[in-house]
Structure 1
Amino acid sequence: MAEISGATLDLEALRSFMIIVQQGSLAAAAEQRHRTVSALSMQIKRLEERLETRLLIRGPRGVTPSPAGEVLLREARELLRQHDGLIARLTGQGLSGRVRFGMPEGYAPQLVEQVLPDFLASHPNVVLEAVTAPSGELARRLERGELSLIVALDRPHRLTGGEALWKTSPVWAAARDFSINSESPLPLAVHPLDCPFRSLGVEALEARDRDWYAVFTSTSIHAVEKAVEVGLAISILDRQRLLPTMRVLDESDGLPLLSDSQACLYFSRRIDAPSWPAVQALADMLRERLGKVGPWPGTRARASADPHAYA
């Protein structure tokens, strides 16, 4: 059988590649990896030489994976999960305990893809129970001791002691051909009362004495987005969730500006001692993956490169 050792990949270089893609820049990844930008650049260069393909597309606002890089990202994620899980099982150094983690539905796909599988692979003996709910409900469940750790927006139910992870960018979103009648109440597609973006929008409208009504209410972010997309109503969405069929409404459309909202990390005060190290480990991974940049660094880099995106 022919030797294939020459095609062996550097696992640490793969880790760097994954973090670069997640952060959207070499500088941010270098800070997390505690290495220099040039060191990470050399790792990527060696990976590209070994695989004989370009992995990253570098632009003025950051980096995004090439088509080959997208393939490598999926495969590397699974490879590192298996590797880290094997090490944890064989060394017996893995954490144990139970982590009850809550997150808003709007960010769940990114958190599930970027964080939770890697956490379980690194700590296979930890029992993870993850749920989605509006931020207000997550806050109440945390206070009741039903959850040990949550990522939630800093309203409408304000908790103390939160650690800021990233700043959201709420905007008024409408279908491309949606027109506003300034004489009629504004038709909104909204989440129930626990939704922070609903609170932001309603507060801004009431400060302007602008009448509104909820033409569509749903706990599903996808249902609300569909209501916007088909022109049934307008809504408040994170800018990163805007679809090409949508446009941003602003003061020129007679709508008030929306203030930012922080996505924060909150710990329960009722975490049992055996589970505390595991809860801390998940919090550390959330800080590493989401700190400052949030869950969409690649999308943000592409949007920033195109100032007319979703305008």
Structure 2
Amino acid sequence: MSAPLDIDQLHTFISIVDTGSFTKAADRVFKTQSAVSMQMRRLEERIGKQLFAKDGRGNRLTAEGEKLLNYARRIIRLNNEAIAAFDDNRLEGTLRIGTPDDYADRYMPEIIGRFAKTHPNVELYIVCEPSVSLAEKMARGELDIALVTHNPRQRISDVVRTEPLCWVGSANHPLKDDAPVPLAVGRRDCLWRQLACSALDADGREYQILFTSWSSTVVAAAVLAGMAVSVLPESALRTGMKVLSSADGFPPLPPVQIGLMKRPGLSPSLMNAITDHITACLDNISPAVMPDDLDGEVKTFQRMPRARAAQVMPGW
């Protein structure tokens, strides 16, 4: 294991995971499918472990493949940063990015930090507003990129992250069993609010909306104080929160997704640079450590990370 790993093989490996198939990966890396398969055989020989296992008509990552994926992304990212550091034709200009405040709190520090390090001559202009407002700004050409809660009924975005949506309450303040569920949620157009209310309605459980805000800080404060229950993506769980399950009388919720909106006409070099950073950073987000493990391991090919994804609150 003394010889270095092949950067091109690692890039192909990541492309297979991101696209979900060898065929699509071949198109992305401009190789034939047989060449992609050969690269993966050589990578498995180099690692000495099986990276993929058959799953019906498709493939899934093995435990060893999952392990390599984390290293591969870090190696590729560091390789790109090293190349960019010596590039005399560095990117310049201004990039206008929109994100809900909860996504900004969870994701933007790493995204901004890595991007600024690699592209120091690009000015980042950040706007924090709900997804609905960001979509409107995108339509008016006021933003270049927007991280939004994916909602195909309202806006078009490319899904870059998927994870479980959880009911959460205070770990230190138990709910009253005989009272309607007190909710702290986003505004009426918040998708997560709609999912929560629809699930409770279908389950026949009474509830009362006590707090409405598009600020994730306000909603989280209400939950932590034991004043209300809310819904959060798994990666957004905070210390002091408790995940509420069917044992607590709460119905299951569908997963949530983060989408990326892009302005047509944006410089391809700027577009590729920021989207690569966003995708890499979202892939590396880990869920909060909670007292109770959350069920459900989903295949990486479904872009449902072992439990990474969409940041907090009124996903707005």
Matched with 1:67 is none
Q: Distance in 2 between matches of 1:135 and 1:181?
A: 33
Shifted more, 227-236 versus 31-40: the winner is: 31-40
Q: Secondary structure of the residue that 2:179 maps to in structure 1?
A: coil
Q: Aligned pair 1:128/2:124, yes or no?
A: yes
Secondary structure of 1:189's match? strand
Q: d(CA) in 1 for partners of 2:225 and 2:65? A: 33
Map Cα deviations across residues 109-128 of structure 1 (whole Å, 9 max, x no partner): 44323333332333333332
Tell me what 1:280 maps to: 271
What letter is aligned with 2:179?
A: S
Residue aligning to 1:27: none
Percent of aligned positions that are identical: 25
The answer for the alignment partner of 1:197 in structure 2 is 192
Deviation at 1:259, TM superposition (A): 1.3
Distance 2:190 2:97 in 1: 18
Using the TM superposition, give the Cα deviation of residue 289 of structure 1 relative to its aligned residue in structure 2, in angstroms.
Answer: 0.8
Preserved contact between residue 216 and residue 233 of structure 1 (Cα < 8 Å):
no
Which AA in structure 1 matches 2:150? Answer: D
How many aligned residue pairs are there?
272
Q: TM-score, normalised by structure 1?
A: 0.62
Aligned residue in 1 for 2:201 = 206
For residue 152 of structure 1, the aligned residue among 148, 157, 167 is 148
Which residue pairs with 1:246 in the alignment?
241
Deviation digits for residues 204-236 of structure 1 (CA, Å, limit 9, x no counterpart): 233436331224645133x32232122121111
Give the distance between the partners of 1:188 and 1:158, measured in 2 at CA.
24
Is 1:184 aligned with 2:148?
A: no
Task: Rate the CA distance shift 1:84–1:127 in 2: closer, same or farther, 3 A.
Answer: farther
Q: Unpaired runs of 5+ in structure 2?
A: 19-25, 48-62, 68-74, 298-316
The answer on whether the counterparts of 1:135 and 1:155 sit within 8 Å (CA) in structure 2 is: no
TM-superposed deviation, 1:84: 5.0
Deviation string 1:157-215 (CA, Å, 9 cap, x unpaired) is 721x4211111321110112443345433212223345332232123233436331224
1:107–1:295 contact (8 Å) kept in structure 2: no
Determine if contact 1:84/1:121 at 8 Å carries over to the other structure. no
Secondary structure of 2:267's counterpart equals: helix
Deviation at 1:38, TM superposition (A): 10
Mapped pair 1:100 → 2:96: yes
1:252: how far off? 2.8
Shift of 1:288: 4.3
- 1:194/1:286 Cα in 2 relative to 1: closer, same or farther (>3 Å)? farther
Contact 2:234/2:287 (CA < 8 Å) preserved in 1? no
Q: Aligned in 2, Cα 1:215/1:149: closer, same or farther, shift over 3 Å?
A: closer
Instruction: Assess if the C-alpha contact under 8 Å between 2:182 and 2:207 holds in 1.
Output: no
Question: What is the RMSD computed on CA atoms of the aligned residues?
Answer: 5.1
Other-structure match for 2:72: none
Distance 1:130 1:61, change over 3 A: farther
Which of the pair is proportionally richer in helix?
Answer: 1
Instruction: Find the aligned partners of 1:226 and 1:41 in 2 and give their Cα distance.
Output: 48
